[in-house]
Structure 1
Amino acid sequence: MEFVSVFLYDSQFLDVKLKCAICSTEKRSWLKFFDEYEYRDLYERRGIKHKWWNWYDENDTPEERRYIAKLDLLITSYCFVSYWNITDCVDNAYVSGMKDDLNLGGNDLVHLQVMYTLGVVIFELPFMYLFSKVRMNWLIPGMDIVWGFFTLAQYRAKSQREMMAYRFLIGSAEGCFFPGVHYVLGSWFKSHELQRCGGIFYFGLMLGSCTTGLLQAAVYKHLNGYHGLAGWRWMFAIDAIITIPVGILGFFVWPGTPEKVQSFFLTEKDLEISRRRANLNAFSNSKGFSWSVIKKACTSWHLPVIFIWNTFFFNSGAQAGTFLLWLQSLGTLSKPMINNLSAIPPALGIFFVFVACFGADVFRSRWFFLCLAQAVNFTGLVILAVWNVPDSAKWYAFMVQYAAWSMSSVLYGWVNDILRHDNEYRSILITGMTIFATQSTAWTPLIFWKTTAAPRYRTGYIYASVISFCLIIWTFVVLFFFKRDERNYYFERLHEAQASDDDIQDHVNKIVRMLISFNENVVTAKGK
């Protein structure tokens, strides 16, 4: 009887807490609109407040922290190394002799960039369906190896047409990489972990862009003409030689997704923790593809709002190679020096990525750091659009170019969080938004970033600055819809909990009545 009384008290106390939670959300400051975790903290954090200086969540147990560290070593580290290796070096090759050797001129550079983009767009299409169906531990490393072989083939290019064919094939091999990595990260990590994991992934791109310039300078200096090959040809060969072994390593290190995991390093206990974390984060398992998923995408706010948002992001920065072409236009720098100087903006980009991605996780505010990164980018674009400014201002503007890309993992991490309730839906939307945004970069350079407009690019810088400003404004549109969905989901959980409580209360009352009846029967029997 004492146990039943305690159970009744706990159940009633839980019911009171839920009702108080509902009342507390009705009396909220307007500033709460900017708190992304306002509703989630009420059911996920169990009343424990987050301290920004803590790397791990206060709710994580010691075994969960060991598990997260293992994921960082297996997944995040491989993402970093892989992205470092598949960084493209065609812009550096262009200013290091490829232009003259292949008789390139006019807008040929932008045509090479567009062909690569077309390959990415076309071969991203099937992966909308395949991500949730195939083993990602085979797909991503396998396509890395294919990318390496196509990169190697570029060293033997004899004409512009042949190089354009190779660029298309390289883009096709890379089509699954960017959305695929974000899909896998979103399958393992919680919302407040995704940005820093994606940030480490993006460190690879920045470091790759940085070392590409330095390596091209060293290759041009020491290998140019060696065995009859120009320095830029050696660069493609070296890039491939580094990439292919990393792809092979991925077969053994990259675990894929929790549903189709294959790893020598993850134990059954790790997978159990993964399932528990997924349940707490309201993350769904694959339910199988159906046309209802397409219908859901076409009728929800996600498709128009997120697609436009991501397209703004893809077009918010200056075209690749603008800094290199400006340095070349000065006419006072050697080719090795141009390549060495090209390493500075991506090196600073590592700092921008650190601030944006780690700040978004630590301070639990994705919208703020996304807007901060774009505000820095916007100032640089305005300076370059004006152009007639002191050289120091131009140097500043070129140095902050990579601020535009630093918030990539913040945006994709946020989208992963928004779509976490449906795995197939998440696969289609993440790939779809990448395709939609990427296709825009296949034709906008032909209008705004013509090589013949270098190094001024007046139309291009004006276009990018307007897009950057629109991206900042559109982020608050996303925040509005996100908060609305989080509020609705929170109240759904509350109502389910209350319904479950009512069922428990009914069962407990039945048990109490049975015990009371049994006790009365015993007393009556003893009296007789």
Structure 2
Amino acid sequence: MHGKRQGRAWYHWFAETDTPQERKLLLKLDLLIVPYAFIGFWINFIDGSNINNAWVAGLAEDLNFHGNQLVDFQTISSVAGVIGQIPFAFLFPYMPMNWLVPGVELFWGVFTLLQYRAKSYAEFMAYRFFVGLFEAPFFIGVHFVLGSWYRADELGRRGGIFYIGLTLGSLTSGLIQSSASANLEGVAGLAGWRWMFIIVGLMTFVVAFAGFFIWPGTPDIPNKLFLSDEELDIARHRLQENGTDGTRPANIALPKVTLGLLKTVFTSWKVYALVVWNLFFWDSDPQPWGGYLLWIKSLGRYSNAQVNRLGASAPGVGILYVLFINFSSDLWLGRTGSIVLAHVVNIVSMVILVIWDVPESAKWFAFNIYYFDIGMSSVLYGWANDILRHNKQERAITLVVMNTIPTAIRAWIGLLVFKTVESPRFTKGYSFCLANSICLIGFTFVVRRLYRKQEEQYALELARSSEAVVEEISHPIEKKEAGVGNVTVEPVA
């Protein structure tokens, strides 16, 4: 069984069984993978969420945007994200990830930058579409790489540090916009919100170019700039012990996508359970729709710069939630406990926001704890990586499917229950998120049961295989020579 780490105190970074060579390798992988994943996701979320900050910083007034046009911008990015993910279900196992992941980041940076010159609703919609299109494979690509190098008891902490990029992206997006509004308004004839797109677009280019050199790829198609052959052998050996299919020898061609592979994926319980589970997770999260910023603005007592600074409080404290939930999943609570805790807190937040007629301090509290919900994202995706670890082609396809379908469904949720004209009180939206949190807690126990049955079956098959090998070595095999009637006995080599 693969769950929280056993045998050492929670504050130990390595497992008791890790050799000195493995610890050295893990430190190197942590330095190559985790900081870039974190910084890349930070930039990803700045570029993806800055439309909310720009909206409350003067974009809507300057371009005469109104009604539900903010949720239209959010929706078009989500729709593009669905389209952009589909090809990568098949490409992840076959392409160098140190080219793929930074490459798409470079392209979304171009369209992030171009938003500074937008003058119409149609132009903004086009730019938001292409930002969403090229951002699409980044998140799931990072999880594919994490699952290609780390064991189940190592994924939560690394994934948690990676996921801080989301909360830090939300935080710094607000602070960048606040500073741009306060200090760059009118400089070179540009509004402060336009300067934000210029600043973050240029930041994206720097991070993307660094990724081509830093990102280590996967054990199958590694970037050898910082990894030796000996270290790659150690990594593949660790994967074999973990039961992870990621150990193809260099001289064996990559298998092709076949109807048999697709049949394996879509006749398995895994893809359906993981899609439903992830759907509940995605739809329990209210923060993409900008409710906190819109509520602060509705109070009518803060400037544009102050609205963005205050709006940074929720993702700021959210960093602590993400770290706590993900580290505790590996070292203390286990995966089930961490997910349940995150969504119990989210249920409290959503209940307060559904009631709404509460003291203002209660609303500040509710908005500032709702990042607990998304804090368990890397726990869920890490668990999915563990469930799918026995077949990397199935893992790539299933990870993309489990991300694409919820993305496609959530793309329309804003239009249905988070309409901009209903702000700041999204009663339907917060009720919807509340219901999904409750369902997610219940379905987590369903996934845990299915996972345990799979691991029991895998352990049984492994034991039978080992017994068969021992039996084969222990007893000679009778071989009948071709064309001869007598029987000879030969030992097994």
- Equivalent residue number for residue 414 of structure 1: 383
| Residue identity matched to 2:422 | A
Residue 294 (structure 2) aligned to one of 325, 331, 335: 325
Once the two structures are TM-superposed, the CA of residue 263 in structure 1 deviates from its matched residue by 2.9
**CA displacement, residues 16-55 of structure 1 (integer Å, 9 cap, x when unaligned):** xxxxxxxxxxxxxxxxxxx8549xx9xxxxxx83443321
- Equivalent residue number for residue 264 of structure 2: 296
Q: Structure 1 residues 157 and 390 mapped into 2: Cα distance closer, same or farther (>3 Å)?
A: same
- Equivalent residue number for residue 344 of structure 1: 313
- Equivalent residue number for residue 275 of structure 2: 307
Is 2:114 the partner of 1:172?
no
Q: Between Structure 1 and Structure 2, which shows a larger proportion of helix residues? A: 1
2: distance between equivalents of 1:293 and 1:309? 23
| Residue identity matched to 1:57 | A
**CA displacement, residues 228-271 of structure 1 (integer Å, 9 cap, x when unaligned):** 00000000000011110110011110111110112311111110
User: Does structure 1 retain, via aligned residues, the 8 Å contact 2:3–2:152?
Assistant: no
Residue 80 (structure 1) aligned to one of 30, 34, 38: 38
Is 2:251 the partner of 1:282?
no
1: distance between equivalents of 2:404 and 2:54? 27
User: Does structure 2 retain, via aligned residues, the 8 Å contact 1:106–1:451?
Assistant: yes
2: distance between equivalents of 1:506 and 1:442? 62
Once the two structures are TM-superposed, the CA of residue 502 in structure 1 deviates from its matched residue by 2.4
User: Does structure 1 retain, via aligned residues, the 8 Å contact 2:2–2:152?
Assistant: no
| Residue identity matched to 1:55 | W
Q: Highest Rg: 1 or 2?
A: 1
| Residue identity matched to 1:257 | T
2: distance between equivalents of 1:245 and 1:289? 35
Superposed, which structure 2 residues align to 1:61-100 within 5 Å?
61-87=19-45, 88=48, 89-100=50-61
Q: Which moved more, 1:494-503 or 1:402-411?
A: 494-503
Residue 232 (structure 2) aligned to one of 271, 274, 279: 271
Alignment gaps of 5+ in structure 2 = 247-253, 477-493
Is 2:65 the partner of 1:104?
yes
2: distance between equivalents of 1:193 and 1:174? 26
Is 2:322 the partner of 1:353?
yes
User: Does structure 1 retain, via aligned residues, the 8 Å contact 2:41–2:165?
Assistant: yes
Secondary structure at 1:175 match in 2: helix
- Equivalent residue number for residue 121 of structure 2: 160
**CA displacement, residues 293-348 of structure 1 (integer Å, 9 cap, x when unaligned):** 21112211112211010011111011421000000000011111111111110011
| Residue identity matched to 1:175 | A
Secondary structure at 1:358 match in 2: helix
1: distance between equivalents of 2:214 and 2:105? 14
Is 2:162 the partner of 1:201?
yes
Is 2:225 the partner of 1:257?
no
**CA displacement, residues 51-71 of structure 1 (integer Å, 9 cap, x when unaligned):** 433210111001100100000
User: Does structure 2 retain, via aligned residues, the 8 Å contact 1:103–1:160?
Assistant: no
| Residue identity matched to 1:179 | I
User: Does structure 1 retain, via aligned residues, the 8 Å contact 2:2–2:386?
Assistant: no
**Over aligned residue pairs, what C-alpha RMSD do you find?**
1.5
Once the two structures are TM-superposed, the CA of residue 438 in structure 1 deviates from its matched residue by 0.3
Normalised TM-score (structure 1): 0.86
2: distance between equivalents of 1:70 and 1:280? 20
Once the two structures are TM-superposed, the CA of residue 276 in structure 1 deviates from its matched residue by 0.4
| Residue identity matched to 2:119 | K
- Equivalent residue number for residue 224 of structure 1: 185
Once the two structures are TM-superposed, the CA of residue 102 in structure 1 deviates from its matched residue by 1.5
Q: Which moved more, 1:215-224 or 1:82-91?
A: 82-91
User: Does structure 1 retain, via aligned residues, the 8 Å contact 2:3–2:335?
Assistant: no
Residue 478 (structure 1) aligned to one of 443, 447, 469: 447
| Residue identity matched to 1:454 | S
| Residue identity matched to 1:424 | Q
User: Does structure 2 retain, via aligned residues, the 8 Å contact 1:149–1:240?
Assistant: yes
Q: Which moved more, 1:231-240 or 1:318-327?
A: 318-327
Secondary structure at 2:457 match in 1: helix
Is 2:25 the partner of 1:56?
no
Secondary structure at 2:64 match in 1: coil
| Residue identity matched to 2:34 | T
Secondary structure at 1:496 match in 2: helix
2: distance between equivalents of 1:461 and 1:310? 18
User: Does structure 1 retain, via aligned residues, the 8 Å contact 2:3–2:153?
Assistant: no
Normalised TM-score (structure 2): 0.92
Is 2:411 the partner of 1:453?
no
User: Does structure 2 retain, via aligned residues, the 8 Å contact 1:55–1:362?
Assistant: no
Q: How many residues align?
A: 466
Secondary structure at 1:86 match in 2: helix
2: distance between equivalents of 1:282 and 1:318? 37
1: distance between equivalents of 2:461 and 2:9? 28
| Residue identity matched to 2:280 | F
1: distance between equivalents of 2:237 and 2:94? 22
| Residue identity matched to 1:83 | F
| Residue identity matched to 2:22 | E
| Residue identity matched to 1:154 | Q
